[in-house]
Structure 1
Amino acid sequence: MKYPIGIQSFDRIIEDGYVYVDKTDMIYSLTHEGSIYFLSRPRRFGKSLLVSTLENYFLGRRELFRGLAIEPLETEWAVYPVFHVDFNSTNYTNPGELEKKINFHVSEWEKRYGLPCRENELGTGDRFVEVLRAAHEQTGRRAVVLIDEYDKPILDVLDVDSTLEDRHRNVLKGFYSVFKAADRHLQFVLLTGVTKFSQVSVFSGFNQ
């Protein structure tokens, strides 16, 4: 047997024949019984694998779920516009890294949906709202947003650089305010991290 040690990609686990503990019936429940979730767990707890599984599910990749518990439960396998941000892959101790990462994602999404880049006119949060609106209108389905390690930009500089910590907090506040502003364009939202929701103070505009 092949054990997926260190592998966080659901499609790789399935396609390469690694051992997979099937909990996809819980994925079905999660996606049909609620719309916005926050998951706080320690590192190496399977959060990124959960995000990957949800991403493949919402992309309608039914072939990956053949023989799993979710297959007889799901009848539609609809394809949704998915927006995935993994904050875990960057070192945020350098000023400007967070802004560059978010701007890169939003710029790529603007291209995907044929929107002009309005970097000089709007903040990244407002630009993301426009992307979600366009995705909803063009596909006819509400968007799915998956944020992995939502708090890492703050944790990287916590108790190290208070100025950069405050800067990151404000940038993330603006970005996460999207979830209130674009509520009618959202099908499902999941944020994962290691810090409790109330301890990071970046969700002042987030009323769920």
Structure 2
Amino acid sequence: MMINLTELPLSVTSFSEFCDRGKIYVDKTDLVADLAKFDAPIFLSRPCRFGKSTLLSTFHELFSNGLDKFQGLKIVTDNLWNDRTYNVIHLDLSKIKVIPNLEVKQAFVES
């Protein structure tokens, strides 16, 4: 079986983009539902390119917009999540340039 390489999500980290652009996505939304129900802080420590940004983007989509883009995925088909939305604050620290400490606060405020 040949895989169309244009469907591979190279450099895509946004769950919404996966859905909108028809990219290949390994459905782990059952685990996303489990993590979302966990009643304690979660520390995500993984090496670069291990899916942390994609996971956070998936949470952002789920909490901000509900189940609209999750149709056909386990979180919907297995009825693992009640469709409700929340206000989300998303801080993307990857957008901040590496700069001297004195400028970090200003760069954070501006972004």
Query: So what's the TM-score if we normalise by structure 2?
Result: 0.84
Q: Deviations over 1:133-172 (max 9, x none)?
A: xxxxxxxxxxxxxxxxxxxxxxxxxxxxxxxxxxxxxxxx
Determine if contact 2:96/2:108 at 8 Å carries over to the other structure.
no
Q: CA RMSD in A?
A: 1.6
2:101 and 2:37 map into 1 onto residues whose CA distance is: 40
1:97 and 1:12 map into 2 onto residues whose CA distance is: 32
Runs of 4+ aligned structure 1 residues displaced above 4 Å come to none
- Counterpart in the other structure of 1:68: 73
What's the offset of the Cα at 1:80?
A: 0.9
1:101 and 1:34 map into 2 onto residues whose CA distance is: 32
Aligned-partner residue type, residue 82 of structure 1:
V
Unaligned ranges ≥5, structure 1 = 106-208
- Counterpart in the other structure of 1:56: 61
1:31 and 1:74 map into 2 onto residues whose CA distance is: 9
- Counterpart in the other structure of 1:32: 37
What's the offset of the Cα at 1:23?
A: 0.1
Query: So what's the TM-score if we normalise by structure 1?
Result: 0.47
What's the offset of the Cα at 1:96?
A: 4.0
**Computing the radius of gyration over CA atoms, which structure comes out larger, 1 or 2?**
1
**Count of aligned positions:** 104
Aligned-partner residue type, residue 89 of structure 1:
K
What's the offset of the Cα at 1:78?
A: 1.5
What's the offset of the Cα at 1:88?
A: 1.3
- Counterpart in the other structure of 2:108: 102
Which of the numbers 28, 39, 48 marks the counterpart of 1:23?
Answer: 28
Higher normalized strand content (fraction of residues): 1
- Counterpart in the other structure of 1:86: 92
- Counterpart in the other structure of 1:47: 52
Unaligned ranges ≥5, structure 2 = none
Aligned-partner residue type, residue 60 of structure 1:
N
Aligned-partner residue type, residue 84 of structure 1:
H
What's the offset of the Cα at 1:44?
A: 0.8
